[in-house]
Chains A and B, each alone.
Chain A
């Protein structure tokens, strides 16, 4: 061990008083970091309120923030009953779409023929608007959870497939040479190298999928359904119940944000190493 290399990592003597003061300041700084976002959010709600009341806009066109809040308090049971199916469909669709995408990506990376055969088909399916596929799936799968789950899965599928194929191939040539010198087989290269080095790419895709799977579930519910946030949106629109409509939209967005935050937290936990650094 050399002194130059060790010097930087020398243990600092504990300085209890100074340490707590510094930690306190760091905590204050962290809180201040979110201050602009919170301020902007509150500011926009205030502007919304001022516009709606100032121009005397009728409730059925645009409700005030207060009226939306009242819906959450008084009609919470309706929102909750319709929230649960959408949650279930989004979670199942997320799991299904991403699992198939990852398995397909692994197949593509090991078989050039499979990639050349099925990649264009995957691209083609992705180019069909999801709103056009939805009725087809409802015809095939009926009015239950299934078509919604499949739509949510479809919408997650493509970004994950593309990213995962790239991630599995993003292994340095030298790393592969190392594995060859060690006489490692394809399975060992996959499990020891490729899967781990694809994780940054996978999480980039999962973050996209975490919000789009909610969109997929809601779009699925628009087409012939009498439950779920999607169906509630349609119902509230046709009955000019604007406060309920706004509350439903906010709930759907909140669900997507919650998925995104959970995915980000899992990513931070799994990717403790620093991706992107070359060794």
Chain B
């Protein structure tokens, strides 16, 4: 019995388990001009079904951190543990899905075929026996009726919805999102922020979300990992909780402004 199922059936007490554990992580890039340390001594944990946002000045290595978890960047020291597996094992087991800043859709494939892509490749381990219905996912991201459209017929926001549906098709336990809404206008971004919260609550997926927007980090995250730059270190792992439910209107409340002010002050601290 998985822990999630055990919690659901009441066998064990519902305290959140750890989804991702990062310990003493260092990532160095060896270039022509010597080695550059992108991340140094980074350690934190992401609880199962949690939503963690990562915030920091540009060049602080927040994207590198997400890529290290996704096995796209090799680790120089320390360890990353995704549900008890190394990033590589987790990748092969399809434990996580990645959402890029650009939707990265195949322009010759219809929306529904783009969502199906993960089911067609990398099946050597038979890792995707249990998958979601692509049509249902399109409904989940608000794109019912556009299944046969080609990507160039959609707006930027709609394309990013397709890429989220594609990420969810293998029912990943973790969703890694690298500034997914960074290229969108503010209205679309707000809308997708709200819908992402709804999707997160409906699917119970653990989410790690990189952003450089302070309000976005505060609005989405249960926890916010604030990083400092050069080399990237954890400045503070901030717990974020609000008394009112998370809705867009909440961003004008005093408690929300206090959280964003705190996050901003962390970003502006001297090194």
Q: Does more than half of chain B's interface fall in helix, strand or loop, or is it mixed?
A: loop
**What's the count of A-B pairs with C-beta under 8 Å?**
83
A196 touches B105 (CB 8 A): no
- A279-B121 contact in complex given A5-B157, A180-B72, C-beta closer than 8 Å: no
Closest B residue to A189 by beta carbon equals B121
Residues in B with CB closer than 8 Å to A188 are 120-122
A192 within 8 A of B: yes
Contacts A182-B118, A192-B121; A277 near B104 (Cβ below 8 A): no
Give chain B residues whose Cβ lies under 8 Å from the Cβ of A10: none
Q: Which of A18-26, A157-165, A171-179 contacts B (4 or more CB under 8 A)?
A: A171-179
Q: Take A5-B157, A184-B122, A196-B108 as given contacts and tell me if A279 and B102 are in contact as well, using a CB distance cutoff of 8 Å.
A: yes
Q: Which residues of B lie under 8 Å from residue A193 when comparing CB positions?
A: 106
Within 8 A of A (CB), among B149-169: 150-152, 155, 157-159
Other contacts beyond A174-B100, A272-B108, A275-B107: 4, CB < 8 A: A5-B158, A184-B121, A196-B108, A279-B102
B225 within 8 A of A: no
* Chain B residues positioned under 8 Å from A172 (CB to CB): 104
- Min CB–CB distance A183 → chain B (angstroms): 4
- Asked if residues B187 and A4 are in contact (CB atoms below 8 Å), the reply is yes
Which of A2, A183, A275 has its CB near the most chain B CB atoms (within 10 A)? A183
Give complex CA distance A200, B142 in Å.
32
B152 touches A273 (CB 8 A): yes
- With the chains together, A56 CA to B203 CA distance in Å? 88
Known: A1-B143, A1-B144, A5-B158. A192 touches B120 (CB 8 A): yes
The 8 A CB mask of B94-130 against A (1 = contact, 0 = none) is: 1011101011111110000000011011101101000
Asked whether A279 and B159 contact (CB < 8 A) given A1-B143, A272-B150, the answer is yes
**Count of chain B residues near A, Cβ 8 A:** 38
Task: Enumerate chain A residues within 8 angstroms of B124, measured Cβ to Cβ.
Answer: 183, 185
Interface of chain A residues 129 through 183 with chain B (CB within 8 A): 172, 174-175, 177-183
Contact present for A181 and B155 (CB under 8 Å): no
The listed residue (A175, A177, A179, A274) touching B152 by CB distance below 8 A is A274
For the complex, give the distance between the alpha carbons of A1 and B111 in Å. Answer: 15
CA distance A177 to B91 in the complex (A): 12
CA–CA, A264 and B127, complex, Å: 42
**Does the CB pair B152–A277 fall under 8 Å?**
yes
Q: Chain A CB within 10 Å — which of B70, B97, B108, B142 has the most?
A: B108
CB of A273 within 8 A of CB of B107, answer: yes
B155 interface neighbour in A5, A175, A199, A277, Cβ under 8 Å: A5
Q: Judging by beta carbons under 8 Å apart, are A179 and B157 in contact?
A: no
For B101, give the chain A residue with the smallest CB separation: A174
B191 near A: Cβ within 8 Å? Answer: yes
Interface check B92, CB cutoff 8 A:
yes
Cross-interface CB contact of A274 among B104, B107, B143, B158, cutoff 8 Å:
B107
Contact, CB under 8 Å: A192 / B106: yes
Q: Which residue of B lies closest to A277 (CB)?
A: B152
A174 and B102: CB pair below 8 A? yes
B127-144 near A? 1/0 per residue, CB < 8 Å = 100000000000000111
* Inter-chain contact A196/B106, CB cutoff 8 Å: yes
A273-B152, A274-B107, A279-B104 known; A2-B122 Cβ under 8 A = no
Q: Tell whether A128 is near chain B: CB-to-CB under 8 Å.
A: no
Report the nearest B residue to A183, measured CB to CB: B122
In the bound complex, residues from chain B placing their C-beta under 8 Å from that of A278 are: 102
Q: Which of A1, A177, A182, A185 contacts B100 (CB 8 A)?
A: A177
